[in-house]
Amino acid sequence: MIALAYKPEPLTPTCNRIELELDYESLRLTPQNVYQYLMDIGVKYADIVLRQSFLETGWYTSHNCLTRSNLFGMKGGEKNQDNPNGYMIYKDWKHSCRGYLRWQRRFYGDSTQDYYEFLEGIGYAESPTYIDKLKSIKLIVVKK
């Protein structure tokens, strides 16, 4: 009979063991997770931006959302047969949120302008009723 034994090396100051606990629920694309992540990364007017994600993705059901993880209709990606409008393609929905944050910092910056007026003034959407549609979406934010 052969017996095998394994004796782990003791932890030393130069060898640290890190235990990671993954919360798979927080990785799912849900309104709650998107809102929390927008807040966590510092997106201004996260409630309005969450509403934008609903409109831009058809409540997370659009082709652009499902195949490109693009929550905000952001363009600037490579135009090709599969992507004729040049939508940005993101690794996952969190990268899309960070892309929005970069866009917001670049174009809105430290402005104190009303965010709805800003979106309308910059021509964020083609629809003339875009702002009205955003305002019509009612959110109930419950703080834990």
The CATH code of the domain that includes 44 is: 1.10.530.10
Task: Tell me if 12 is assigned to some domain.
Answer: no
Task: Tell me if 110 is assigned to some domain.
Answer: yes
Cβ(56)–Cβ(72) under 8 Å?
Answer: yes
What confidence score (pLDDT) does residue 26 get?
76
What's the pLDDT tens digit per position in 71-128? 999 999 999 999 999 999 999 999 999 999 999 999 998 899 999 999 999 999 989 9
* pTM of the model as a whole: 0.80
Task: Tell me if 64 is assigned to some domain.
Answer: yes
Q: In the structure, what pLDDT confidence band is assigned to residue 1 with cuts at 50, 70 and 90? A: very low
Task: Tell me if 88 is assigned to some domain.
Answer: yes
Task: Tell me if 84 is assigned to some domain.
Answer: yes
User: Residue 37 belongs to what domain range?
Assistant: 29-136
**The total number of structural domains that make up the chain:** 1
Kindly state the tokens that stand for 70.
Answer: 């693009």
* DSSP secondary structure letter of residue 97: H
Report how far apart, in Å, the C-alpha atoms of 101 and of each of 98, 108, 133 are.
5, 10, 22
Task: Tell me if 17 is assigned to some domain.
Answer: no
Kindly state the tokens that stand for 17.
Answer: 């063991």
Task: Tell me if 112 is assigned to some domain.
Answer: yes
